[in-house]
Structure formats: structure tokens, C-alpha cells
Structure 1
Amino acid sequence: MNTKTYSDNTSPSMLHLDQQMCFALYSANLALNKVYRKLLGELDLTYPQYLVMLVLWQQDELMVSDIGEKLFLDSATLTPLLKRLETAGLLTRRRAQVDERQVIITLTDAGRALQQKALSIPEAVACASECSVEEMTAIKQQLQTLRGHLHKKA
């Protein structure tokens, strides 16, 4: 097992762009977003809107805070996104009766129907990645582990 840590390497080459994990993630994310932008354009959704819809397709009638927790977004970022989805007729927002500070998000019939149109997106993204199912699974697991470690330090 390799026990060398990044702190062991003090070479100036560690500051080269191509040595940066953050740049590899950033540039891969840019490329992935271009793929999604093309696919989601057919659904008239942005990538952040698609993420919200994925959460609601999995479990409808969630509080804004629950959606934010799943997507790692605060309500200040999420609220305008939800308003745009409501304007598009894909969801409704209503105040909880128990605590009016809480807003419950519910899919409309149009929002539920959009799920059928979105079914081909994961496969199209997988094809664009040119990775095997095993590679995609391993990358996803590694990224989830990385996110967990970084989230603890943030």
C-alpha cells in the first residue's frame, strides 16, 4: 500500500495545473454539464432543475430544507430555482400548516409526466462517458467518498 501523502511532496511541480485534482474535477464537470445541457434542453430544464426533479421523482411532497439537504444547497440558492420550476408548471409550493416557515414542494401532473421523458437521460450520459458500468460505479463511489471527506473539512 502506498502511504505517501501529498504533504510529503513539496516540489513546485505540485502547483502545475495538470497536477490538481480540483482542476480534473472542475473540467470533467464542465464537460459533463455540456452533455447534460444538450439532453436537458429537450426537457426545457437546467441541470440544477433536473437535480430537483430527480429528488422529487424519488419522493414527492418534500420540504425545501429536505431537498436542500439532498442536493447540498441552501434555501437561498434553492428558492429561486423552485420558483422557476413552479412558473414552468412542474411543481407547487405551499406553506406547511404546522409551521408556516416550512414550504412543501409537490410535483404537478406535468412534473410527474416529465419523468417519462427523462428516462433516457442516464443512459445517454453513460454512453457519452464511454465508461463501462463498473467504471461508472467505481467513479461514483470514489466521488461520494471524496465528497464525504471534504464535507467534514468544509
Structure 2
Amino acid sequence: MRLNHPEPFTAAWSARWIWHGRPAIVSETATRPVQADPADRVVLFRREFELDAAPASAPARLWVDGRYVLYVNGTEIGRGPVRSDPRAARYDMVDLAAHLKPGTNVIAITARHFGVATSWWIPVPPSYSLGAGSLVFEARIGDDLLITDRSWRSSPGGAWTPVA
């Protein structure tokens, strides 16, 4: 499956597909297709990082195999992803700069994989990385890339009521 969107990101993703309870999906771990997961799951993701100064711009792109809410330093700044055909999904872009500060910053994402089709979500056909819940996030902050990888913390979001 391709993730489509215009500028400012023109290169391939450096970020890894991640989800709670399984390793980051890279060519070494994607040896067989994932099985579709019919369970409605919520996963809470968190990544702390340090900045010497607040950036003038910090474009970020992200996509979740389901739905997400994106927070920066405790402020909700986005929900998505945009609706699209699950076989050619479009990722979302947001500029994080207005919410970043010198010192410790926190990106938090509440991600939900519904498991079965709903009136507002169509599942992605299972592949080597999708169909059972996944998150990919990448932000350009100055010369650095902040990406989803093994450094992200995650935990199940048990406080949510399943849809089905």
C-alpha cells in the first residue's frame, strides 16, 4: 500500500510502522503477512525529546491503521487520518512548531484500530505491515527527524469501550 500526499516530504519514509505488543515492522520482521485483527484496540503512544530552541517550523506526517488523536505537550493538535481508499491511503500533515518549546517536549498519540468495518472506517487489506493496527509518524525538526521506532513507549488503552 502507498501513502500519498504532496510536499514538504518528498523522500521515502524513514519512520517504522509500530504497534503495541509487536516489534517495529522493518524488512527483517516483515517475513509473512500479518493476520487481520478483528479486535477493537486502543493503544497509547508517547515519545519525549529535548530541544535547545523552539523551531520556526516542524512539519510532521502521520498515519494510523484506524483513527488517531495527536497531542503535543498536552494539547490536542490533530485527529485523523483523512478519509481515503484503504488501498491508497493519504497520510495527514501538521506543523508542530507552535506547540514545541525549549527543553523537554512530548508527542502523544491515541490510536484506535477498530478491527472490523464501521460506518466511518474501512479496514486496510492485511499485508506485511497493515491490517492489525499500526502507526507511522515522522517530523522534521531542524536538521533532525523524529520518527516512530523502538524508542516510543506504548500501552493498551483499556479505558475505551469497544465499538462492537
TM-score interval (norm. to shorter):
under 0.3
Larger Cα Rg: Structure 1 or Structure 2? Answer: 1
- Bigger share in strand: 2
TM-score, length of structure 2 as denominator length? 0.23
User: Larger RCO: Structure 1 or Structure 2 (Cα < 8 Å, ≥ 6 residues apart)?
Assistant: 2
